Structures are given as C-alpha cells and as structure tokens.
Amino acid sequence: MPAESTPSLDEIRDATWDGTLACTGDDWVAMRLRQLAAAAQGTPLRNLFPYTSHNSLHFSRCSHYPFTQDCPWIWFAPEPHFVAYAPHPTGIQGNLADSQPPVLLDTDDPAAAVAAAVQALPPHYGTVWIGSIESQP
C-alpha cells in the first residue's frame, strides 16, 4: 500500500482559501467574509494564509496557529462596512491590541479594502511556510 503523501504548501494554502470562500451560512458574517475572500483572489494576499477572528479577516505567512502578525487585516460589519488596518507596530494584531493600528481605509467596498491591505504588505510577505510562527524557517 503506498504511503500517503504530505500535502504541499500550495495544497494547504489552496484548501485554506477554499474553506474561507465556502464559508457557509447566510448571516452577515459569512456574507462579508465571502466578499472579502473573493476580492482577494488574484491579489498578492492570495499568497498568504487567511484566518478569521472577531469579525475580521487576517493574513498570515504561516499555515497554523500561532500565526504571524506582520500583515494587514480587515475588520467587517453588517452595513456593509470594511476597515483595512496596517500591521500593528508592536506585532499584536486585531482586537487584542491595546490601541488599534493605523487605519488604511474605511469603506463599504470589499475590493477597495483588499486593495488597501495589498498596499500595506510587508516586503517579506512572499516568505510563507507550513507550520506556526514558532517553526519559521
């Protein structure tokens, strides 16, 4: 019997994005998440691993928790309302930060929020790996 092959980085990343795009439900959270994930297709954000937390879509350079905290992220609300944030200078991301990082764009357009996040990617955003931040190459 042949041994099972280990999934490649591309396969893991694709599965993560596919799961985000397939977010089920017709509530506003699932709808906004699908809008953002669809808008991110074909952008450099697609090179990263998406994850969600507290009504926001985050992007990590690694595939598993604990994630990297050096990429922009987008908070969303039902109206629709999207706020793209720069990476926090201290490395703490999202709603856990004592103070929010700089707002890049506050908009009702998911594609515009994604474009703002793309503009704030760190120079090393292309360095991605399987594992957590603790297994950074």
* Per-residue pLDDT at 95: 54
Of the candidates 36, 38, 45, which has an alpha carbon nearest to the alpha carbon of residue 13? 45
CA atoms within 13 A on the CB side of 100: 10
What's this model's pTM, rounded to 2 decimal places?
Answer: 0.90
Distance in angstroms (rounded) separating the CA atoms of residues 97 and 99: 5
* pLDDT (tens digit per residue) in 90-134: 766 555 556 778 899 999 999 999 999 999 999 999 999 999 999
Q: At residue 63, does pLDDT exceed 80?
A: yes
Is there a contact between 74 and 84 (Cβ–Cβ < 8 Å)? yes
* pLDDT (tens digit per residue) in 16-35: 999 999 887 889 999 999 99
Q: List beta partners, residue 50.
A: 59
